A and B are shown apart, each in its own frame.
Chain A
Amino acid sequence: MRVYHFTEQPYYPAWDNHKGSLRINLPSSVCDPKIAGDLFHRYYDEWMLADDLGFDIMLNEHHQTSTCMSSTVVVGLSILARITKRARLLVLGYPLGHRPDPLRCAEELATIDVISRGRLDMGFVKGVPYEFPASNQNPVGVMDRFWEAHDFIVKAMSSHDEPFNWEGEHFHYRQVNVWPRPVQQPHPPVWSTTGNRNQARLLGEKGITMATLGSGYATRPLQDAYRAGYFAKRGVAAGAEHFAYLALVAVADNEAEARRRGDILASYFRSSAIVHVPFRNPPGFLASQDYARMLRGQSPPRTYTKDGRAVDMYKGDVQDLMDAGVLFCGTPDQVYDQITAFCEYCGGMGNLLMMGHAGALSHEDTVDNLTLFSKEVLPRLKAFKQPVAEATAA
């Protein structure tokens, strides 16, 4: 198993000073650029440590928000491409449907792949609801635009003989010829995220690595949809390396300390719900059937425990989040057991996206969390033999 260390690079000092919204409309006057700089330096230091300790690295991007200062992930990727030595650099995600210029995306990502000596993983995502007011991208039809941008970038990175032409529905280019070309051929691996079975099946058909974020015990049906799509196109089963799962991880020498850290990490979920209400559901983001159910007060809970109890991730305590499989928390032995049990439940899950820092977890706590995990858990996970799910019939 690979384990990626991830933080959203939050500006958590603002979390106590908002008027009901941490995203989109929280004035930047509450951001002190000196503190922001200190935090960036700290987060990069922790990623350099993660690189030394044997982790891989995950970065992301959000906009106009104190929950994530990384508003342009190519900056973080570019810095880490040069200052880290061995870790893979996963961007998850890069909100592709919001980009006006996928040629620029292809050039930036190819350059990062070259500077990192071929360590880039490209996670392309639709983006959370709050991205739309920031980018002004129309939520209606965004996935059409997403797939055209995806197809264009893949072609731009893997075409080397002569410039090509592109006159699509959304993007127009003449003489496309990306310099430098990426190290990884034909292009760096493509990842994506979903919480939807139809989309999961489509990702399986395309062979795009699928990550689910905090999906807990709602993960298996998504992975099985992926397996079905993958098998239908190839006649072979999708291996565990095609699946990734994001969870909070708090490990410590004793259970009480681990739970203290877990509670601080849980602020990731608690803060993510603090958004001006109209920005939570832009028009067309949900399918009309799903929005109609919401109007009728019938929205299903997103997260369950293994025995089917619904958990509110925004309000749940440490035990709730552990029961839901969105927080792995405890001593190294306990955390190892929780993670491998989750892999068994999934039928194989080869990439743990470990939120080893979130919210106000201190630098010292983060360093200890990562160091202990790398010594006591990571070697065992690397040796762990993944279960093999039956290839689901198409």
Chain B
Amino acid sequence: MSVTTDPIPSIAVNGMSLEVIDRGAGRPILFLHPGIGLDPQSPVLEQLARGGRVLAPFHPGFGSTPAPKSITTVSDISYLYLDLMEAYDLRDTLVVGVGLGAWIAAEIAIKSTERISSLVLANAIGIKVGDRETRDIPDIWAITAQQFDELAYFDPNVAKRDYKALPEGVAFAAARAREANARYCWSPYMHNPKLKNWLHRIRIPTLCLWGTADRIVSESYARAFCAAIPGAQFETIERAGHFPHVEQPEEFARRTLAFGSPKAEAAQRTA
């Protein structure tokens, strides 16, 4: 893992300070990170920036800005990001989310797609599929970090960190991400019981990606999520688990940009 000491620029949204990575130029691409947080040096950001201007906010509580008390749910974050898109005056945005980020993206899109032209949801969490006694997603707070990595990655070695050898900021970012993830995902566990009922409102081109080694969310769960969005396409990424943007950044960006290109979007709209 590479580490930057450069401060991340902040933008004020609705009286809140948000750290937002801003890379490249052109059509806006809003990248929403998963529950493990966001490495500013993550190769996927450069890969995506080939297709436009990547804006990647740290969700409240991740990064170095504390979460305000008023932000406690994924729905709260979705309203915050609607304000964020307004603050940047984004048009025809490609919104891309992974895991928790995909859940946030879906919660944005059920509310308004006024500034969004297409959506890529990778390994999304956020809905309830099984019955009340069947846990859709393994309890990540009842297993060890090593067990989590084995479930989440095609190659668990990708996730290994020697925090003692890394700068203090890396351990601090991991600690903050763990807490912030629980803020939004502890209960109801990793989902909003109401979300599935409203996914039908997403009427823009949507691609659902799933890393085939993911054992945090299963293929049937990923397909159920996709099926709830009218016309959404389902594709898989090989040699990747729950975080395909980390394990296969090039392939992830290639699929995303191919789906989200203005030409492809036009074709999808007429199809």
A-to-B contact residues, CB < 8 Å? 133, 136, 138-141, 144, 169, 276-279, 282-284, 288-289, 291-293, 295-297
Contacts and interface: CB of A to CB of B under 8 A. Distances in A.
Given A278-B142, A283-B179, A141 B72 contact: yes
Given A289-B172, A292-B175, A140 B144 contact: no
A288 B181 contact: no
6 contacts: A133-B141, A138-B183, A139-B186, A277-B144, A284-B178, A292-B168
B182 A283 contact: yes
Interface centre among A277, A293, A296 (most CB of B within 10 A): A296
B142 A279 contact: yes
A288 B171 CA distance: 9
Given A138-B186, A293-B171, A296-B163, 5 more contacts: A141-B72, A278-B143, A295-B163, A295-B174, A297-B164
A278 B186 CA distance: 14
Interface residues of B, number: 21
Contact of A140 (B164, B168, B175, B183): B183
Contacts of A289: 172, 175
Nearest to B163: A295
B175 A139 contact: no
A283 B187 CA distance: 13
Interface of B: 69, 72, 141-144, 163-164, 168, 171-172, 174-176, 178-179, 181-183, 186-187
A383 B176 CA distance: 51
A19 to B, nearest CB: 15
A326 B72 CA distance: 40
A383 to B, nearest CB: 49
Contacts of B172: 288-289, 292
A295 B175 CA distance: 8
A296 B174 CA distance: 11
A334 B110 CA distance: 71
A169 B141 CA distance: 26
A92 to B, nearest CB: 26
Nearest to A289: B172
Nearest to A25: B142
Contacts of A292: 163, 168, 171-172, 174-175
Nearest to A293: B171
A291 B175 contact: yes
A131 to B, nearest CB: 13
Nearest to A288: B175
B179 A140 contact: yes
B174 A140 contact: no
Contacts of A277: 144
Nearest to A279: B142
| List of 8 A-B pairs having minimum Cβ-Cβ separation, nearest first | A283-B182, A291-B175, A138-B186, A292-B171, A288-B175, A292-B175, A295-B171, A284-B179
Contacts of B171: 292-293, 295-296
Contacts of B142: 133, 276, 278-279
